[in-house]
């Protein structure tokens, strides 16, 4: 069997194609460079793109080829969501206010934060992952102990955190899953966002012990509405952020296209062509949407499982089906779908398997009775859910 060479796309070098995940500032470097020259309007301090161009970078140019001199480029859509949401996010960052993206798991909060950071300052890498083990030092600074012992406290011996690096260079810092951080770590964010400086007591006797934020610095945090995390955010910290809720994709066709695009890229990275039929993808996404909302597209009631049937999870299932088609039997991809759905719904509560059976006995059966061939096949596969 021959394998397909993964597509690298116009913005990706051969070196980048060897990585599993390429940061947006590298993957879309040609777009960022083009937009910086295309829109020469006013920019907030330190911004790579204008706010208008930043919105275009995230949402795409709607298929229109933008012209810059003799060069033209269609900007690829990267995030599926309301334009007004992205515009509010960009305006928040332009005002140097903290931005908090909240929503259910799998709604692309992290992706949006990466894209915004890349558009604003050219890097999404200044990131702290919030966990129960995240320390205050990871938000502020640490020390190179060899230099500390040799020369004592000095700027040279200071090891800045990603947040401190963003502060002193006027860029965007990102804190993922901020509600998973302990209260003392969250408190450090309160003073940092209020005073826009970090005190270094060890330097107070000699060098200046205050490290100040320069124009352009701001912070994007994400929080999961389903997982309350280790500690609720304090009222003081909430006041330092503008909250924006990132919801599920509203349009079926748009969600199918996103699942197709991302799963195709994942399978191609595995060195194989994507062999999942569009009818299978539409059935997959339809089932996810029905179970997510508790109502089918026809208006029939559906008992929702406790797990989150997110778009990100749908991409994972589509990728698994694509890899199966490429490397295993290569044939009955649709026949694998029920087993994949069982694996998804049982993650949080094994009792959710009964809710999936209820979905099969409801909308799947009724669609089969109406003559839909794909759903007839899925109905015939009901025994696979009882294994």
Strand partners, 242: 99
Contact at 8 Å (CB) between 263 and 322? yes
Residue 4 scores a pLDDT above 50: no
Lowest mean pLDDT among 13-27, 124-138, 179-193: 13-27
Contact at 8 Å (CB) between 348 and 306? yes
CA distance 274 to 264: 5
Return the percentage of the chain with pLDDT > 90, whole number: 63
Q: How many CA atoms lie within 13 A of 51 on its CB side?
A: 17
Residue 203 scores a pLDDT above 70: yes
Instruction: List, in order, residues 6 or more apart from 257 with CB less than 8 Å away.
Output: none
Rg (CA), the chain: 24
- Output the pLDDT for position 58: 98
- Output the pLDDT for position 7: 44
CA distance 233 to 201: 27
Higher pLDDT, 183 or 290: 290
Average pLDDT for 89-108: 94
Residue 70 scores a pLDDT above 90: no
Q: Model pTM?
A: 0.87
Lowest mean pLDDT among 35-39, 93-97, 163-167, 263-267: 263-267
- Output the pLDDT for position 75: 97
> What is the tens place of the pLDDT at every residue in 341-383?
998 988 878 888 899 999 999 999 999 999 899 999 999 999 9
CA distance 304 to 358: 10
Contact at 8 Å (CB) between 275 and 327? no
- Output the pLDDT for position 307: 87
Average pLDDT for 314-326: 91
| Three-state SS at 100 | strand
Residue 8 scores a pLDDT above 50: no
> What is the tens place of the pLDDT at every residue in 10-28?
555 555 556 778 899 999 9
Q: How many CA atoms lie within 13 A of 226 on its CB side?
A: 13
Contact at 8 Å (CB) between 242 and 98? yes
């Amino acid at each position: 069997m021959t394998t397909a060479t993964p597509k690298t796309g116009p913005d990706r070098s051969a070196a980048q194609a060897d990585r599993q995940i390429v940061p947006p500032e590298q993957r879309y470097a040609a777009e960022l460079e083009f937009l910086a020259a295309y829109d020469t309007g006013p920019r907030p301090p330190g911004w790579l793109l204008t706010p208008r161009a930043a919105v275009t970078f995230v949402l795409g140019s709607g298929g229109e080829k933008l012209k810059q001199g003799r060069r033209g480029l269609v900007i690829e859509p990267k995030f599926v969501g309301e334009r007004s949401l992205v515009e509010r996010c960009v305006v928040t960052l332009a005002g140097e206010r903290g931005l908090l993206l909240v929503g259910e798991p799998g709604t692309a909060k992290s992706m949006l934060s990466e894209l915004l950071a890349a558009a604003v300052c050219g890097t999404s890498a200044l990131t702290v992952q919030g966990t129960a083990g995240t320390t205050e030092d990871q938000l502020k600074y640490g020390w190179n102990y060899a230099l500390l012992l040799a020369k004592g406290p000095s700027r040279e011996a200071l090891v800045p955190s990603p947040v401190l690096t963003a502060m002193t260079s006027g860029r965007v810092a990102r804190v993922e899953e901020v509600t998973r951080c302990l209260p003392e770590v969250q408190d450090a964010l309160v003073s940092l966002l209020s005073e826009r400086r970090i005190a270094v007591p060890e330097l107070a006797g000699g060098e200046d012990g205050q490290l100040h934020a320069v124009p352009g610095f701001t912070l994007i945090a994400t929080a999961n509405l389903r997982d309350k995390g280790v500690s609720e955010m304090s009222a003081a910290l909430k006041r330092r952020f503008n909250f924006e809720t990132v919801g599920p994709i509203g349009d079926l066709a748009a969600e199918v296209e996103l699942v197709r695009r991302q799963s195709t890229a994942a399978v191609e990275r595995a060195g194989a062509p994507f062999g999942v039929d569009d009818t299978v993808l539409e059935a997959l996404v339809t089932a996810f949407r029905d179970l997510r909302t508790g109502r089918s597209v026809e208006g029939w009631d559906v008992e929702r499982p406790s797990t989150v049937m997110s778009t990100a999870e749908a991409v994972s299932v589509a990728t698994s089906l694509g890899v199966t088609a490429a490397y295993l039997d290569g044939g009955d991809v649709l026949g694998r779908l029920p087993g994949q759905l069982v694996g998804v719904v049982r993650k949080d509560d094994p009792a959710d398997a009964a809710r999936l059976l209820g979905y099969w006995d409801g909308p799947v059966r009724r669609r089969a009775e109406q003559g839909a061939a794909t759903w007839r096949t899925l109905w015939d596969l009901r025994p696979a859910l009882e294994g």
